[in-house]
Amino acid sequence: MRSYRLTALCLCTVIGAGFATGKELMSYFAVYGRMGFIGVFIACVLFTLIMQRALLLPCHSLEELLSQYGCGRALLAVTRLFLIVIYSAMLSAAGEAISSVFGTNAFLGSVLTALLAGVIACGGYDAVASAGSFLFAPMLAVIFIISISSAGMTAFPCADSLTAGSLLSPLVYVSYNMLTFIPLIMSIPDRHMYRSCARDTGIALFMAMSMLLMPLYANFSLLRDEPMPIMALTSALSPVIGYMYRLLLGAAVFTTAVSALYSLNNTKTRLPQPVKIVGINMAALALSLIGFERIVERVYFAFGVAGIVLVGIVLAGTRE
């Protein structure tokens, strides 16, 4: 059961707003045709290898791991900054999702998400993992329904393209996700006992990415320029599927937000946990006013280099 909870938590951390909207899959994979599908496979293999190495590192925290390197302090600061940025992006996306379903003020939805995420993060790893394991199966079911519901739609094939971009996209996609993923892994108690979870996470991630990638391929020319391709697709399918998609987006956003807040709250300071969470939430809510799309477009790619360095440190680290 604990192995399943860890696998579900890791998947929920990766399946955030960028993934659930289809924007990441379109930008990093679908635009390259069949090479994009190969890129998905490469990305999932990289996730598996990196997670397996991180689970076996003898360090008990990200701070301990990075303290061995000259660039450690700078990289730790960049990682914490990215966690705040991605947390604020998830709060912004959550507010928009809640507003689209209930017609409420978007910022109010962000505040409610921050409050609930703070309560769960204060509960420690068990509470965070329980939230992930509870939401993962429904999220995967909705992804499956979206995939099969669009299978009969008219196909608009895109040209296959073997370019430098198609080869680098899996690495870029994995690198900035690692700035959220690795701090989470490093904070898991007795993580070395769950090495098989890396394989399970890689397989489940490949399934989820493939299921969402296929409708993007089938409707490529219609969805290419959409800011939220899957939302545009589900809106054309049926109101019921569109509503289910909004629930998926809300769950995906929330689980990533909880993981980011939990990792931030685990940083070593003299402040009590509730005080840290209040401070983080205030900063993230202020940043969330920029808007989800602007945060993703202007900030995510810039952190990719730091993610590559962090991945290199994990892969080069000594295993237990």
pLDDT digits (tens, 9 = 90+) for 107-154: 999 999 999 999 999 888 889 999 988 888 888 898 998 888 876 555
Mean pLDDT within 275-299 = 83
Weakest-pLDDT range from 153-167, 255-269, 282-296: 153-167
Q: What is the mean pLDDT of the chain?
A: 85
Between 14 and 101, residue with greater pLDDT: 14
Count of structural domains, the chain: 1
Tokens representing residue 61 in the block: 């925290």
- Which pLDDT belongs to residue 297? 65
The C-alpha atoms of residue 77 and residue 74 are separated, in whole angstroms, by 5
Weakest-pLDDT range from 69-83, 95-109, 296-310: 296-310
Percent of the chain at pLDDT above 70? 92
pLDDT of 197-229, one tens digit each?
A: 899 999 999 999 999 988 888 888 888 888 788
pLDDT band for 245, please (50, 70, 90 cuts): confident
Distant-in-sequence, close-in-space partners of 151: CB < 8 Å, separation ≥ 6: 214, 215, 218
> What is the residue range of 24's domain?
2-316
Any idea what the CATH number is for the domain that residue 133 is in? 1.20.1740.10
